[in-house]
Amino acid sequence: MEKKIKKEYGICNKPDLKLARKRMTKSTNILEYKVANELIGIGNGKTYIVKTYGCQGNLADSEKISGILEQLGFTKVETEEIADVVLFNTCAIRENAENRIYGELGRIKRIKKNRPDMIIGICGCMMQEENTIEYIQKKYPHVDLIFGTHNITDLPEYINYNLNNKKVIDVKSIEGDIFENVPVIRDHPYKAWVNIMYGCDEFCTYCIVPYTRGKERSRRPDDIIKEVQDLANAGYQEVTLLGQNVNAYGNDLKIDYTFADLLKDLNKINIPRIRFTTSHPRDFDDATIEAMALGGNIMPHLHLPVQSGNDEVLKRMNRKYTSADYIEKMTKLKEAVPGISITTDIIVAFPGETEEQFQDTIKLVKTIEFEGAFTFIYSPREGTPAAKYENPLTEEEKKQRLLTLNKVINAYTNKGHKRFENEIVEVLVDGYSKNNDNMLTGYTKHNMLVNFEGTKELVGKIVKVKVLKAYTWHLLGELI
């Protein structure tokens, strides 16, 4: 009988999360990415797939992972069944995000049974958490590679170990340097993510991100401007600037240069659309409003997570603003950028949230008239301060709050769409609608989804569409 050989570890570095929690940071270097010559070609003739969960930050990381793997010689495939390397880029923001990953790891085990040479890797925010690695080692021994958010650029070395039948665990507790010129394979042919910074210094009491992504580190303005200019030259139509709190951009740079300065510089580049996510209400300032008022390629849409409309809850969330501050800033913004669309994130049933406090959130939604929102039931994250707070609500009560909130928001989403009925809007065409092969689909400047009849040569172009009818989730239009 064939003896089962237990694979050895090529690298086995588990994080010391006490260091991460203490915020033991080092100064950030900005380095050029370079792969060792002898590793180029190790993936020749082999295939890979990266499966991404979580936020745009993870989508952007996965594009770099793909870039690195293709530089090594690997070719992308569409299903795990035929991939030699399967990588899961994970998210830790809520419990259900994590449960999905464990489901996937269980499923892939059955595929690997028939193809034992397959390399299974898992990376991203979940790997930066306490106890996750031990759990995966114990429950999912078919995983060959575990790395975190701070060391994507070491992937060539890891894969080389894996190809030589060795396992790898390498998770760093302290954030890494910024690497420029990492190869990327972008998912979209004319819309691109551009990181402007990494990490988060906010420490909202419910949130795991500051622990999984490390301290705030900004890229140099010139590197960002060059990347956007190169994308414009390559025919990209839209760039979304990424950071957990883009309004803190530049705080850690040794030069006097802010997010508003960056927007003003990018406003001069000949790319049709610039978006950014995510903003933080405390740091969203007059200078940013002024930059947004320039218009041009800066889109009339702001996603500004408010989380709650009650000051006591906001305080316990450590958000450092009041609902009055939020309203004041949004009133100014609406004056400076008439017709701007504002969307948000809201958490319901934060520990201790009373019915009255929840009603303050509903009131705020009605005041701002958010045209869209991502709404969540609070999910305790181990190691965050709020996980220790009492939360007496039942699951049923929590769900009820979410339903009540969604109903109010949907009415404003619908109202927001209605204001475009009979108007002519500019749409960046994404492709065909999921449900209808004759229908093209794309987004307006205000980030609203439009479906209209058209042919495939319009994909990737910005076209004018007359809105015929507004629905809650999309606009229906006709090409003019």
Interface positions with ligand SAH (CB under 6 A): 93-94, 206-207, 209, 244-245, 278, 280, 305, 307, 345, 347, 376, 378-379, 381
From the list ligand SAH, ligand F3S, ligand SF4, none, pick the one residue 417 interacts with, judged by a Cβ distance below 5 to 8 Å according to partner type.
none
The nearest distance, CB 304 to ligand SF4, in angstroms, is 11
Rounded Cα–Cα distance for residues 442 and 105 (Å): 34
Residue (357 or 441) nearer to ligand SAH, CB:
357
Among the listed residues 233, 256, 234, 258, the one whose alpha carbon sits nearest the alpha carbon of residue 247: 258
From the list ligand F3S, ligand SAH, ligand SF4, none, pick the one residue 210 interacts with, judged by a Cβ distance below 5 to 8 Å according to partner type.
ligand SF4
Residue 379 tokens, joined: 């999910």
The span of 22-30, 91-99, 245-253, 342-350 binding ligand F3S (CB under 6 A) equals 91-99
Q: Strand (E) positions, 206-320?
A: 217-218, 238-242, 273-277, 301-303
The nearest distance, CB 276 to ligand SAH, in angstroms, is 12
Residue 452 tokens, joined: 């209209």
Rounded Cα–Cα distance for residues 99 and 134 (Å): 16
Rounded Cα–Cα distance for residues 428 and 444 (Å): 7
Q: Residue 255: is it exposed, middle or buried by C-beta count within 10 angstroms (0-12/13-18/19+)?
A: exposed
Residue (350 or 452) nearer to ligand F3S, CB:
350
Contact 349, 378 (CB under 8 A): yes
Asked if residue 387 binds ligand F3S (CB under 6 A), the reply is no
Position among 10, 54, 221, 281 found at the interface with ligand F3S (CB under 6 A): 54
- Which H or E element spans position 309? none
Asked if residue 200 binds ligand SF4 (CB under 6 A), the reply is yes
Residue 401 tokens, joined: 């709050």
Position among 50, 93, 386, 425 found at the interface with ligand F3S (CB under 6 A): 93
Residue 283 tokens, joined: 């740091």
From the list ligand SAH, ligand F3S, ligand SF4, none, pick the one residue 92 interacts with, judged by a Cβ distance below 5 to 8 Å according to partner type.
ligand F3S
One-character DSSP codes across 146-190: EE-SS-GGGHHHHHHHHHTTEEEEE--SS---EEES-----SSSS
From the list ligand F3S, ligand SF4, ligand SAH, none, pick the one residue 345 interacts with, judged by a Cβ distance below 5 to 8 Å according to partner type.
ligand SAH
Rounded Cα–Cα distance for residues 283 and 27 (Å): 23
The nearest distance, CB 317 to ligand F3S, in angstroms, is 16
Residue (216 or 360) nearer to ligand F3S, CB:
216
- Taking CB atoms, the residue at the shortest distance from ligand SAH is 345
Asked if residue 329 binds ligand SF4 (CB under 6 A), the reply is no
- Residue 351 CA: distances (Å) to CA of 206, 303, 309, 389, 398: 9, 25, 15, 6, 11
Asked if residue 65 binds ligand F3S (CB under 6 A), the reply is no
Rounded to a whole number of angstroms, the CA Rg of the chain reads: 23
The nearest distance, CB 124 to ligand F3S, in angstroms, is 6
Residue (208 or 448) nearer to ligand F3S, CB:
208
Bridge partners of 121, per DSSP, are 87, 145
From the list ligand SF4, ligand F3S, ligand SAH, none, pick the one residue 58 interacts with, judged by a Cβ distance below 5 to 8 Å according to partner type.
ligand F3S
Asked if residue 17 binds ligand F3S (CB under 6 A), the reply is no
Residue (204 or 428) nearer to ligand SF4, CB:
204
Asked if residue 33 binds ligand SF4 (CB under 6 A), the reply is no
Residue ranges that bind ligand SF4, judged by CB under 6 A: 200, 202-204, 207, 209-210, 244-245, 280
